[in-house]
Structure 1
Amino acid sequence: MRTSPHSFSTHPPYGPVHDEDEEPWEPPQHRRGGRRRRRNRFAGLPLAAKALVLLLAAAAFLVLADRWALLYAEHRTAGKLKDSLDLAAAPEVEIEGFPFLTQLLDGRIDEARVAVPDVAADRVSLAKVSATASDVRIEGAPLSVRGASVDEMNGEVLLSFEDLNRELGASQVTFTAQGRDRVLARGTLPVAGHDLKLSADARIRRSGPDGISTRIGGMRLDIGDLATYRPGTKPSQGLHLTRKSADAVRSSQRKLKSLFEVPELVDRLGVPPSTVQRALREESELASLAGTPRFVRALTGLNLIDVAMDHPALLKQLGLDPALLDGLSRLTRPALADRLALGFRLPELPDGAGELTLRDVRVERDGIRVELAGYGVSFGG
């Protein structure tokens, strides 16, 4: 019989019909199932994969242990170096080679680098002392490291111009490189209340096995544009008028008469006494005498230090402060050279700790650099 489209169905109107034998529905257990799946996932790995994972984990652990042991060894080594060499600060130590633990067990380090900053050396501080040692033998390895020793090491020493300008530049003097073995000093130097312009040069050379020395030359102090002072006893040294000052004296009758009234100056100028007497009486004779090129050369070559002691008023006539004379007389060549000296010596190692020597010395843009070598060096122990 055909069913009418308007007839009602005998099935429930909503949801599917469950068979009476089906299990009732329960919500999914995500957390518990996730753990089970993860456990099952590792358990389901092949044996070779499990071994590989364990091997990688062990390798990572060994690498971390090796790096920790390396850092600890570098720290201990820096401390022993500081104590053994009586350093102001602990040096920087870098131990090369991997793995480190096998080197420690063997009692030998492939290579180690040490950098010591700010080492006191006489009047100056060495900006950096660095060295590289190969085949370092460790004493007491691996259980109780007491020290280390190395047959030979190489390095370098840097005497920085920046440090020199700070330590020796109280008089506003700066040092700059000029060639492979030459350093220029330029600046001002206070003398008797006057800031005199200073210029000098230092020749750098090795002095013995553990130091360098400087030979100071070309020392010159300019008193404005009036005079120049060069310490020393040679004819070209002392206090001399500049050409500009000599021309000013030649054109002033008052200054000329002040010069000719000092017998010591007349004698040094090489002017006959009879000529001087005529020049003092007649202005034309005075102008004629002072107008010769020979007179100007003699005037600029005259060392005022020798005669001004007894005639301080003469300096005033020439435009110079008499107080400068006393200050310049104490500023001898050795005293001024000592102010500009850049020499130094390496600190001595303790008895039995080996030997440090300096090799090649050269001047570079940033300072004085010296090659360093060490023999039979040991520390700690």
Structure 2
Amino acid sequence: MTEEYGTDQRPRRRRGRGLLIAVGVLLLLLLAGLVVVDRWGASYAEGVIGDKVAEQVRARKASSDTPEVDIKGVPFVTQVLRGEYQEIQIQLPNFSGPTGTGEQIHLDLLDIRAKDVTAPLDALRSGTGEVVAGTLTGTGTIDYPQLIELIGQKGLKLSEKDGNLVGSATVTVLGQQLDLAGTAKLSVVNGGIRVRFADVKATNLPDLPGIQNAIDSYAGKLGLDLPAPELPLQLKVRSLTPTPDGLQVTFGATNVNLNAGGL
């Protein structure tokens, strides 16, 4: 009679392989569940911060579309346990806010980055307590048609050239039609925006007495002193940069409680 050996070994291998597969599937499901919970927690915290920022916008008599908040970094839960967050991005689409003298500034997007943020878990869960950003940096662009309207001189054209804000216009001076052009000096004064054209010249200047004085007088009318805008999160104007799309304004603030409605 022929004896058979090892007939029971192959089934045991299949059972062992099946067990490993089952364990692997369970681990994947567990990890997927943790990711879902992690993202849900981040989404909830983003909603809490967004609601508080919206309150601050209204308190400044400003307006915007619904704030969009994005807590950077994964996993979220490890940041919660530390009470420290690497960066929180807050976007205010279609933002409009008044200045101290009533003018309205419109920004298609006010993009704010909060860094060195500290917050206890209870502050994010309940919407009370402090969520403090060590530094806040915001950017927004005042487009050139709006800037021209604020200056209030019809026929003025503004653009960016070689990193500078340049203006041009065709005006009639002493019966002569002149093509004027000049470069603006930009500065931040008491949190407000100052624009000055001090070197306006005519490309076709005729040799007539008083023409340059008339040009200098017109250049003086191109000045703009825009008081500090009413912004949420204690943001103040820090710098001005001409771009092809308009005047980019950089805002800043330090040690701001993101969770303080109506701040």
**Alpha-carbon distance in 2 for matches of 1:202, 1:121:** 27
Tell me if structure 2 keeps the 8 A contact 1:138–1:145. no
- Mark the CA change 1:149 to 1:178 in structure 2 (over 3 Å): closer, same or farther: same
Deviation at 1:202, TM superposition (A): 5.8
1:373, CA displacement in angstroms?
2.6
Picking from 198, 216, 228, the partner of 1:345 is: 228
Residue 181 to residue 344, structure 1, CA distance change in 2 (3 Å): farther
- Which residue of structure 2 aligns with residue 281 of structure 1? none
**Could you tell me how far apart the structure 1 residues matched to 2:15 and 2:78 are?**
35
1:359 and 2:242 aligned: no
Say which structure is richer in helix.
1
Report the CA distance between 1:171 and its aligned residue: 3.6
Q: What is the deviation of 1:213?
A: 0.2
Letter in 1 for 2:118: R
Decide which structure has the larger Cα Rg and report it: 1
The 2-side partners of 1:197 and 1:79 are apart by 53
How far apart, CA to CA, are the structure 2 residues paired with 1:302 and 1:107? 68
Equivalent pair of 2:53/2:258 in contact (CA under 8 Å): yes
In the other structure, the counterpart of 1:145 is 127
2:63 matches 1:88: yes
Residue 114 of structure 1, aligned match among 90, 99, 107: 90
**Partner SS state of residue 97, structure 1:** coil
Alignment map for 1:178-257 (pairs within 5 Å): 178-186=161-169, 199=180, 201=182, 203-217=184-198
In the alignment, is residue 177 of structure 1 matched against residue 160 of structure 2?
yes
Q: Given the superposition, is the C-alpha separation of residues 187 and 49 from structure 1 closer, same or farther in structure 2, using an over 3 Å criterion?
A: farther
Taking structure 1 as the reference length, the TM-score comes to 0.48
Closer/same/farther in 2, CA of residues 302 and 151 from structure 1, 3 Å limit: closer
Relative distance call for 1:347 and 1:56 in structure 2 (3 A) is: same
CA distance in 2, matches of 1:366, 1:88: 22
Give runs of aligned pairs for residues 306-321 of structure 1, distance below 5 A.
Answer: none
User: Alpha-carbon deviation of 1:214?
Assistant: 0.9
Q: Residue in 1 aligned with 2:209?
A: 301
Quote the Cα distance in structure 1 between the aligned partners of 2:252 and 2:138: 6
CA spacing shift, 1:170–1:213, aligned 2, 3 Å: closer
Query: Residue 143 of structure 1: SS of its match in structure 2?
Result: helix
Cα pair 2:240 2:248 within 8 Å, conserved? yes
Aligned-pair distance for 1:77? 1.7
Q: Identity across aligned pairs (percent)? A: 22
Structure 2 equivalent of residue 159 of structure 1: 142
Residue range with higher mean Cα deviation, 139-148 or 78-87 = 139-148
What SS is found at the alignment partner of 2:125? coil
CA RMSD of aligned residues (A): 3.9
Task: Provide structure 1 residue ranges, at least 5 long, that are not aligned to the other structure.
Answer: 1-41, 190-195, 226-241, 244-296, 304-331
Query: Which has the larger share of strand?
Result: 2
How many aligned residue pairs are there?
Answer: 227
**CA distance in 2 between partners of 1:83 and 1:100 (Å):** 25
User: 1:343 deviation in Å?
Assistant: 3.7
In 2: Cα distance, 1:54 partner to 1:48 partner: 10
- Once the two structures are superposed, residues 146-170 of structure 1 have per-residue CA deviations (whole angstroms, 9 ceiling, x without a partner) of 2521122334342222543577689
- Alpha-carbon distance between aligned partners in 1 of 2:256 and 2:25, rounded to the nearest angstrom: 46
Superposed displacement of residue 175, structure 1: 1.5
Q: Quote how far apart the aligned CAs of 1:183 are.
A: 2.8
- 1:315-370, Cα deviation, whole Å (9 max, x unpaired): xxxxxxxxxxxxxxxxx8699436xx374523255xxx6x5344343322222224
